[in-house]
């Protein structure tokens, strides 16, 4: 299992690294590329062929859910028909052992699936595909602690933190947790049992460099049940819901599971045959060579994008030809995951309205920093 820590500015913030999967910050800044999205791990009793055949569908289900965002994907007839030929989707598998919390040895089956084959299966089942580039999400959750409440910090030993990480890993949602140092306590100076307000969410977003914040407050409800109040602050839009459970772990598991559903609905796109189109996209604010490289690279990594080429360049403006897999709406939906690209209205002058989409690039480079200026003529393709 791989473990790691990332440094944001000079602050040390733990970033969840799921089993045999690494998360890396991309050029888009707020998005995280999940590596190992096609890898699954299943606890097994032995290495017999019979046990292997029983475990492989469980492993496939993990990968299908992570890649599509649909927790009911295994019930689809197309997927069920593929199970008898599951070996066609497996690249390799291996076994390993780990020590659980009780000190017992647990045998694990690790399966690596063929990503292209799995995507074809989802496509044939008319399922959307969630790109491996996903928003890094700050999880800010308070839970009961005696007569008070506490925020789950990155170094907490509370079982609820471990549960949150497990569900996030299963769903393929990269998450971080607050340090809860003096700065955090000042930024969110209110009872821990209440959700942060908009101003406090902005402070959290700026400090940790995220555009996705999942905040939750678990409190005692009626009949001994616990209630969870949740808000997902995603690219400036709040989504609210409630969960309940017999214990804290159930409540927080349901909360992050629902958040993953909402993210998948926002960013997963259909990858349908015969639905490709050519889109012209204008991007302004491209002032340096680094900006140019980041814009093109970011677009190429989006799920609906098959090819990107530069057709014109003038001052700080790029005119791009984008060949898509799917339709224009799929591309627009996927672009919402890129915080550095801000949608703009089309110019009113017909002669300037030569594109389908208009965006502005927000660079991370502070004013005055020295960078290589962008070339004035586009490269030859």
371 pLDDT above the threshold of 50? no
CA atoms of 165 and 160, how far apart (whole Å): 9
Residues forming beta bridges with residue 320, ordered by sequence position = 281, 310
Domain boundaries, the chain: 39-129, 133-269, 277-361
Q: What is the DSSP string of 61-86?
A: HHHHHHHH--TTGGGSHHHHHHGGGG
Rank 89-93, 206-210, 299-303, 370-374 by mean pLDDT and report only the highest.
Answer: 89-93
pLDDT > 70: what percent of the chain?
82
**Taking a C-beta distance cutoff of 8 angstroms, is the pair 341, 360 a contact?**
yes
88 pLDDT above the threshold of 90? yes
CA atoms of 360 and 342, how far apart (whole Å): 5
- Which of 20-29, 147-156, 270-279, 340-349 is the least confident region? 20-29
CATH topology of domain 133-269: Double Stranded RNA Binding Domain (3.30.160)
Which CATH code is given to the segment(s) 277-361?
A: 3.30.70
Between residues 264 and 370, the one the model is more confident about: 264
Tokens standing for residue 93: 């598998």
> What is the reported pLDDT for 74?
94
> What is the reported pLDDT for 110?
98
Between residues 172 and 223, the one the model is more confident about: 172
104-130 pLDDT per residue, tens: 899 999 999 999 999 999 989 988 889
Closest to 149 (Cα-Cα) out of 240, 205, 216, 244: 216
307-357 pLDDT per residue, tens: 888 877 788 888 888 888 777 888 888 888 888 899 988 776 655 556 789
Please enumerate, as own/partner, the contacts of 345-353 that have beta carbons within 8 Å and a separation of 24 or more: none
Closest to 216 (Cα-Cα) out of 192, 183, 250, 246: 192
For 255, residues 6+ apart whose C-beta sits below 8 A from its C-beta are 141, 214, 216, 228, 230, 243
Confidence grade of residue 67 (pLDDT, cut at 50, 70, 90): very high
Closest to 55 (Cα-Cα) out of 121, 110, 119: 110
Sign of the CA dihedral 199, 205, 211, 217?
negative
CA atoms of 5 and 7, how far apart (whole Å): 7
Residues forming beta bridges with residue 168, ordered by sequence position = none
Between residues 9 and 134, the one the model is more confident about: 134
> What is the reported pLDDT for 163?
93
**Taking a C-beta distance cutoff of 8 angstroms, is the pair 247, 226 a contact?**
yes
> What is the reported pLDDT for 184?
84
Tokens standing for residue 238: 């709040």
Average pLDDT rounded to a whole number, residues 297-314: 84
Between residues 65 and 30, the one the model is more confident about: 65
Rank 13-17, 18-22, 152-156, 304-308 by mean pLDDT and report only the highest.
Answer: 152-156
- Which of 52-56, 185-189, 334-338 is the least confident region? 185-189
């Amino acid at each position: 299992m791989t473990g790691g820590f990332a440094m944001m500015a000079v602050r040390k913030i733990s970033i969840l690294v799921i089993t045999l999967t690494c998360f890396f910050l991309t050029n888009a800044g707020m998005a995280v590329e999940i590596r190992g999205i096609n890898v699954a791990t299943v606890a097994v009793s032995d290495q017999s062929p019979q046990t292997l055949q029983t475990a492989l569908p469980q492993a496939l289900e993990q990968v299908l859910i992570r890649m599509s965002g649909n927790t009911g994907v295994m019930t689809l007839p197309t997927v069920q028909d593929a199970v008898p030929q599951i070996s066609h989707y497996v690249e390799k598998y291996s076994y390993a052992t780990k020590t659980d919390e009780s000190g017992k040895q647990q045998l694990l089956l690790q399966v690596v699936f063929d990503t292209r084959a799995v995507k074809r299966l989802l496509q044939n089942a008319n399922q959307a595909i969630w790109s491996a580039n996903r928003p890094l999400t700050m999880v800010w959750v308070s839970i009961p602690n005696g007569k008070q409440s506490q925020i789950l910090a990155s170094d907490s030993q509370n079982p609820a933190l471990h549960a949150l990480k497990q569900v996030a890993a299963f769903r393929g949602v990269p998450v971080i947790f607050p340090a809860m140092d003096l700065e955090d306590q000042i930024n969110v100076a209110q009872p821990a049992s209440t959700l942060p307000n908009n101003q406090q969410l902005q402070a959290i977003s700026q400090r940790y460099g995220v555009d996705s914040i999942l905040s939750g407050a678990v409190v005692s409800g009626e009949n001994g049940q616990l209630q969870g109040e949740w808000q997902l602050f995603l690219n400036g839009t709040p989504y609210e819901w409630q969960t309940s459970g017999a214990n804290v772990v159930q409540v927080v598991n349901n909360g992050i599971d629902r958040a993953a559903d909402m993210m998948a609905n926002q960013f997963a796109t259909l990858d349908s045959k015969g639905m490709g189109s050519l889109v012209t996209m204008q991007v302004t604010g491209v002032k340096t060579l680094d900006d140019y490289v980041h814009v093109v690279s970011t677009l190429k990594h989006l799920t609906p994008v098959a090819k990107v080429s530069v057709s014109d360049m003038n001052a700080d403006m790029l005119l791009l030809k984008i060949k898509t897999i799917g339709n224009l709406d799929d591309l627009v939906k996927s672009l919402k995951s890129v915080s550095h690209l801000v949608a703009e209205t089309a110019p009113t002058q017909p002669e300037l309205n030569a594109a389908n989409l208009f965006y502005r690039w927000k660079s991370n480079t502070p004013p005055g920093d020295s960078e290589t200026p962008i070339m004035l003529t586009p490269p030859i393709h």
